[in-house]
Structure 1
């Protein structure tokens, strides 16, 4: 029998603390908006981030800051929708399965839009962005598909969480974008000399994209291997 890894217990404990932290805000927001609305807003803010990245093509660093701002707000919406849903449930409101489906779908669309924005800017080669997108999608899909295959040998829902998570991915991209904007604003190319790649520039944001891509693909294989250990004993 495969015992639950210690890192999974730690992750469950972390999530519990994280949920407690955001729950009061979720209670407040639940008076005005639904959890599904929060999920939709996350996608809307990601679209705004995409547009801002597009307008940053001509070294308009202010638009990179705007893109980062709305990307951060989009990520916050992802953190809050679950808190609002729990607050609604505590009030006795019936929470349907649609919300559980909408949350990850909205997250994937949000990722699509802000990655399109990065790809349409000149601050990362399109091939790098596509590689990153594939890694993020496969890491999420591997986890979701494995967890949908049934409870583990202990009767608990499969909990496949290995490797980099969405919050860490967004943080890496945000840091890369902020450094990119600061370099453009200060016009200090000696600090981080840009590498020209056709009409594109390989700088901090591009390297952030590549780091997220590599770590996402590693996470997908880690989760696949972990799921194999659980699922073999269920067969």
Structure 2
């Protein structure tokens, strides 16, 4: 990657990270309105959970099928990114619908959390299989992503809330992956995977430090 391409990548990645940090807290009122609209359809929150998982799975499958589509593989990052963004939107919708319709349940929470882990695994495996990024980098990104979720789950089991702590939560990771992979530089998706690893590792470290200070 030449210096000009690196500057383009860095500038866009930095912009995306700062944008995510600024809009996170402003999304709740908007998503409440969106949740109300989707709740009016009569479809359950679990329906949107499954629809989100299916959408993410399709993205992973598309990435993995690079060798089967010939010269049209150049469109896969665009299609995959659109599916990831759609899946992320549906993932947010299911929580909003659950709260609005008072369908929040332990079963729904379990299905949502498990589906999140499955979808991330499918996406990174698909990226590695399709040769869009080095398999080792995908393994690192996936492992760190799982650690972000594990540190929160373990802390919550010890009555310590870490929700929202750190920039590298799942929604932010997937949005960063989708956006950075479209930057017009060589092996953009590989850099997107690296970006996910960076924000995930910073979040894991942040949570470990906070938990270590607060837990006795």
TM-score, scaled to structure 1: 0.73
SS at 2:168 equivalent:
coil
Conserved 8 A contact 2:60-2:124: yes
Q: Distance in 2 between matches of 1:209 and 1:137?
A: 14
Query: Counterpart in 2 of 1:132?
Result: 141
> Of residues 41, 57, 61 in structure 2, which corresponds to 1:51?
61
RMSD: 2.2
Conserved 8 A contact 2:180-2:191: yes
Q: Distance in 2 between matches of 1:51 and 1:159?
A: 30
> Of residues 155, 161, 168 in structure 2, which corresponds to 1:164?
168
> Of residues 68, 75, 84 in structure 1, which corresponds to 2:81?
68
> What are the equivalent positions in structure 2 for 1:29-44 lying under 5 Å apart?
29-30=38-39, 31-44=41-54
Distance 1:95 1:214, change over 3 A: closer
> Of residues 187, 191, 199 in structure 2, which corresponds to 1:215?
199
Conserved 8 A contact 1:45-1:70: yes
Conserved 8 A contact 1:19-1:83: no
Query: Counterpart in 1 of 2:119?
Result: 110
Q: Distance in 2 between matches of 1:176 and 1:56?
A: 19
> Of residues 101, 106, 123 in structure 2, which corresponds to 1:88?
101
Q: Distance in 1 between matches of 2:56 and 2:193?
A: 16
Distance 1:87 1:104, change over 3 A: same
Query: Does residue 1:99 correspond to 2:103, yes or no?
Result: no
Conserved 8 A contact 1:176-1:206: no
For residues 102-134 of structure 1, the C-alpha deviation after alignment (integer angstroms, 9 at most, x for no partner) is 222111111111111111111101000001000
Query: Counterpart in 2 of 1:198?
Result: none
Q: Distance in 2 between matches of 1:128 and 1:149?
A: 32
Q: Which blocks of at least 5 consecutive residues in structure 1 are unaligned?
A: 1-10, 152-156, 184-191, 195-202
Count how many residue pairs are aligned between Structure 1 and Structure 2.
191
For residues 10-65 of structure 1, the C-alpha deviation after alignment (integer angstroms, 9 at most, x for no partner) is x9x955x4232111221222233111111111110011101211233445212222
Cα distance, 1:159 vs structure 2: 4.4
Q: Which has the higher helix share?
A: 2
Conserved 8 A contact 1:164-1:216: yes
TM-score, scaled to structure 2: 0.79
Conserved 8 A contact 1:35-1:81: yes
State which structure, 1 or 2, has the greater radius of gyration over its C-alpha atoms.
1
> Of residues 173, 176, 182 in structure 2, which corresponds to 1:178?
182
